[in-house]
Structure 1
Amino acid sequence: MSTETVPAAETDTPTGPPTEPCSVVWCGGRPYVLEAGAVRPRWVGTDGRGRPETLSNAQLQRRGWSHRRAASRRRAR
C-alpha cells in the first residue's frame, strides 16, 4: 500500500475555473472562452438561442463547468 499523496495540481477536480485568457470550458453543453477585460475577466459564450452571454467566475461555478464537453442527449436534426 502506498502512502504517497497526489498534489492538488494533479487531481481531476479543479477548485475553480482557469484564469489564463483564452481558456475554454464547457457549461450547460456550451463552450465559454475567458476574455481578459480591463476591469474583470469574463466568460463569453452563447445562451440556448445562440445569443451572446457573459458569465462571471462565480456564475460559472454556480452553474457547473468542465474542461471537457459532456455527452449531449439531444439528437442532431
Structure 2
Amino acid sequence: MNADAVTSTEASTDEHTDAPADPPTVPSSVVWCCGRPYVLEARPGRARWMGTDYRGRPEALSSAELRRRGWSHRRAC
C-alpha cells in the first residue's frame, strides 16, 4: 500500500515540468532567455529567434541554441 502512494507521487511530479522542452513555432512568438526577449522571425528556409546581446546588438539564435541556454514564456527576475 505504501508503494502505491510513492508511485502515484512520483508520477505526478514527472508530469509537471518547469521548463518546456521546445520553443514555440508560431511566427512572432516572444520568449525570454537570459533575461532578454526573443521574437521568432518567419523567413523562408529556417526560422530564427531575434533578440539583443548584453550590449544591445542584434543577436540571432536557433531553436536548438535557445533550448540549450534555457528559455521561458515569462521574464525571469
Question: How many percent identity over aligned positions?
Answer: 68
**Which consecutive unaligned segments of at least 5 residues does structure 1 have?**
72-77
| Distance in structure 2 (CA, Å) of the matches to 1:45 and 1:37 | 15
4+ long deviations beyond 6 Å: none
Larger radius of gyration: 2
**Which consecutive unaligned segments of at least 5 residues does structure 2 have?**
1-7
TM-score by length of 1: 0.75
TM-score by length of 2: 0.75
Aligned length: 66
What is aligned with 1:56?
Answer: 62
The answer to whether the aligner puts 1:25 opposite 2:57 as a matched pair is no
How far has the Cα of 1:15 moved from its partner?
2.3
